[in-house]
Structure 1
C-alpha cells in the first residue's frame, strides 16, 4: 500500500494552462511552496521546464505530491538543485520542536523526470542531493527518472547525485518504486558518494527499479585517508548510520562504479545493527576500485551478519 502512487485525479493545483509556455519555473516554485496535490497541464507533448530557482517545500504543508503525468522533465540546467525539503530549516517554517523526527510534510514524486540537477557547493546539512534533498517528514518516489544529476565531487560523507535523505519520521523507509537512475551510458549521476542515492541513518525500500551508469568519484573513503579529500563509495547507493535497513527487490543495478568501495552498494551500520536484503534482483558489472565484501561483488557491507541474498544474481 505504501509503495503505490497517489491518486491525483483531483489535484489541489495545476501548473500550466495547457501549453508548454505556461509551464514555467516560477509556476513550479509557487505551486511547491503552496503544497497539496500538484499536476501539470503543459500540452499533449513532453515538455522540459528549466528551473531558474530551486523549488522549496514549506514545512507547514501536510502533503506535497508532484505528478508529471509521464510527460514533464524538471531540469536544473546543470546549475542548481531542483527540489528541496528540510524540516529543520527555519527559513521554510518551524513547525515542531522535534524537527528531526516529524511526520510531515509527506512528499511524493511520481511520473516525473529530474535532469541535470546540481547541488555542488550546497552546504546545508552536509549538502548532496543534486536533484532532490530531503530532511525530515517522509519521501516516496514512484515511476520517475533521474538523469545526469550531480553533487560535490569530493568529501567523505557527501552524496546522492539524484537523492539525499536524512531523518525520516519514526525511521520509516523511503520507497523508490519503478524508477530509473541513469538508464544509459552518460545518463547516470555523479557525486563523491552515492551516484544515485545517499543517506545517513535512513532506511530504503527499492522496488522494481533500475540503477545504471552512476558513479562515486571521490577519493580517500570515509574517514578520509590522510592527504585525501575523502569519498568515492557507493556507485549507486551510499548508506551510513546506525540502525537502518535497505531492501532491494525486483531491481537491476549494473554498470555503476566506485573509486573506493561498493561499486553498487555501500552499507555501513556503525553499531552493526543494520541489515541489507536483496531479492529477485540483478547486480552485475559494478566495479569497486578500492574494496568490497568478499563473496558479494559490488557491495561493501558492515552490519548485522551478512547481506541476505534471495533469488538474485551478483557478479
Structure 2
C-alpha cells in the first residue's frame, strides 16, 4: 500500500506549508501503539468508544476529500467522528488546530481506524479543547470543573505537532485540554514539540488541566516515541504534562522523549527553567499517577526525573505502579526513593510486580 499525504487548503496569499513526508507518520510504519508486554486489565470507561454510527465521516472515499479543513469542521461539530479516505493509510497535514466547541456536543470522539495520521507539519498544534476559553463558548459558571465535553482520541496517530508559538495556552505540542474529560486509546505520538524552556510549560505531546471532579485522564495502549527518532520533547514532560491532574496509564510505552529545558522549577538563578520529567511531568496538589502494564525507557532530562516527575505541592498525592518497567532513563538528579523518579520523599508510592532501575 502507498501512503497518501493531504495538505490543508490555504488561501492563495498564504505561504505554502512545508510537507513533512516523514515515514514515522505512516500508519503502516513506526512503532505500534502500546506496550507489547502490557497485559493489565482495562476498565470499561477506559476502553474505546463505539463509533458504529458516526455523526460525521471525514472524507467521501478519496484521499483528496480528507483535508484538515474537513477535520476542523468535524471537531467543531463534535459527536462521533470517523474517516473514509480511500484504501491506503493517510496523513492529513494541518495548518491550524482543530478546536472543540464546548456547546456543540457532549461527546467528541475522533477515531482514525488505525489508518489516519494527523500531522502538525512542524508548524501547529493539532487538537485543542478548553472549557474556560470564551472563544470556544463558556457553558457553565464553573468551567474549571464541568463534566462535558468529553474528548476521546482513539486508533489514530498524532505527529509533528508544534505549539512553540502558543503563549497563553502553552505546552501540548499535539493536544491541549482543559476541563471535561479526556482519554487516548490505541494512539501514537511521534515528534511533537512544545516550548523548549520555562519552569511551567510542558507536554511535548499532551498537556492537560482541570479534569471533572479530579477524575483521571486515561492513556491506554498508546505509544509516545517508541524508538530513536520518534520521541516528543518540551521544556518539561517530554511526552505528557499536567498541573493538578490525575492520570491512569495502562499498557502504554514511553521512550526517547526528552525534557529539554534547564534550571528546574522554580528556575535556578540565571537559567530559563524546566528540564524535568523525561516522559511524564505531574505538578499540583491532590493528584494520583497510576501506571499499569507500561514501559518507560530511554527518556532524558536536564534537571529532575528522567522517567517521572511527580511533585504534589501539599504532599497529598500518590503513585501506584504495577506490572511496569522503568529502566535506562538518562540524566537528571533528585531521586529520593527510586531511580529516575523525582518526588517528595514522603509521597506514598506503591510498587508491585515491577522493575525500576
Cα contact 1:292–1:300 (8 A) shared by 2: yes
Count of aligned pairs between the two proteins: 313
- 8 A Cα contact 1:218 1:229, kept in partner: yes
CA distance in 2, matches of 1:54, 1:305: 37
Q: Determine helix, strand or coil for the equivalent of 1:130.
A: coil
TM-score of the two chains, using structure 1 as the length reference: 0.98
Whether the 8 Å contact between 2:251 and 2:292 is mirrored in structure 1 is yes
What is the aligned partner in structure 1 of residue 189 from structure 2? 146
Task: Give the 3-state SS of the residue equivalent to 2:45 in structure 1.
Answer: coil
Runs (4+) off by over 4 Å: none
> Is 2:68–2:95's contact at 8 Å kept on the other side of the alignment?
yes
Once the 2 structures are TM-superposed, how far is the Cα of residue 78 of structure 1 from its aligned partner?
0.4
Matches within 5 A, 1:28-177: 28-60=71-103, 61-125=105-169, 127-177=170-220
Higher-RCO chain (CA-CA 8 Å, sequence separation at least 6): 2
Residue of structure 2 equivalent to 1:297? 339
Residues 275 and 304, structure 1, Cα contact 8 Å, conserved in 2? no
**Is 1:197 aligned to residue 240 of structure 2?**
yes
1:52 to partner: Cα distance? 1.8
In structure 1, distance between residues paired with 2:307 and 2:87: 37
1:17-32 alignment to 2 at 5 Å?
17-32=60-75
Instruction: Calculate the TM-score normalised by the size of structure 2.
Output: 0.86
Within 2, Cα distance between the matches of 1:294 and 1:222?
Answer: 17
Whether the aligned pair in 1 keeps the contact of 2:234 and 2:259 (CA below 8 Å) is yes
Structure 2 contact 337–345 (Cα < 8 Å) conserved: no
Once the two structures are TM-superposed, the CA of residue 304 in structure 1 deviates from its matched residue by: 4.8
C-alpha RMSD over aligned residues: 0.9
Aligned partners of 2:171 and 2:345: how far apart in 1?
Answer: 24
Structure 1 position 123, deviation (Å): 1.7
* Residue matched to 2:356: 314
Structure with the higher fraction of residues in strand conformation: 1
